[in-house]
């Protein structure tokens, strides 16, 4: 089976946000990417104090992203009280796979796909 790698880049700054193998460390779910800490390539995410609630994934905090003087509000989120049925979302930075300021590239054995 071919290995897949995902790379997520913040387009306005060119900053690499995350990179790693698709699976437990970089988990796609419902069009979003849930990123384990070891695959984050930036420390630009900061909680902005605004909570959110998903009726089946539970409580999260919105994250703003700042790098090189540029700030993108609500670029990500982190579940701080997650549903235990979804361990891959717990305490991870999550971003939308379709956010207009993000480029998400999935490669399979070095080939873009």
Binned at pLDDT 50, 70 and 90, residue 3 comes out as confident
The domain total for the chain is 1
Predicted local confidence at residue 91, as pLDDT: 95
pLDDT at position 68: 85
Separation of alpha carbons 95 and 106, rounded Å: 15
Task: Quote the pLDDT of residue 1.
Answer: 57
18: domain CATH number?
2.170.150.40
Closest to 98 in 3D by CA, of 42, 46, 23, 30: 30
List of E strands, 1-113: 4-10, 15-21, 26-29, 32-35, 45-54, 58-67, 70-82, 93-96, 102-108, 111-112
Per DSSP, what are the bridge partners of residue 59? 53, 81
**pLDDT tens string 79-113:** 999 999 999 999 999 999 999 999 999 998 766 65
Q: How many angstroms separate the CA atoms of 95 and 44, rounded? A: 13
Question: pLDDT tens digits, residue range 37-86?
Answer: 999 999 999 999 999 999 999 999 999 999 988 899 999 999 999 999 99
pLDDT at residue 7 greater than cutoff 90: yes
Cα 94–Cα 31–Cα 37 angle in degrees, nearest 5: 25
Domain region containing 74: 4-112
Q: What is the predicted pLDDT for the residue at 2?
A: 64
């Amino acid at each position: 089976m071919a290995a897949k790698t995902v790379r997520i880049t913040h387009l306005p700054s060119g900053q690499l946000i995350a990179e790693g193998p698709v699976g437990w460390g970089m988990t796609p779910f419902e069009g979003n990417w849930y990123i384990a800490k070891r695959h984050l390539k930036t420390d630009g995410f900061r909680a902005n104090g605004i909570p959110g609630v998903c009726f089946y994934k539970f409580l999260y905090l919105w994250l703003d992203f700042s790098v090189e003087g540029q700030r993108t509000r609500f670029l990500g989120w982190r579940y701080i009280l997650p549903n235990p049925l979804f361990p891959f979302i717990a305490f991870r930075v999550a971003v939308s796979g379709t956010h207009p300021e993000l480029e998400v590239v999935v490669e399979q054995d070095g080939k873009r796909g």
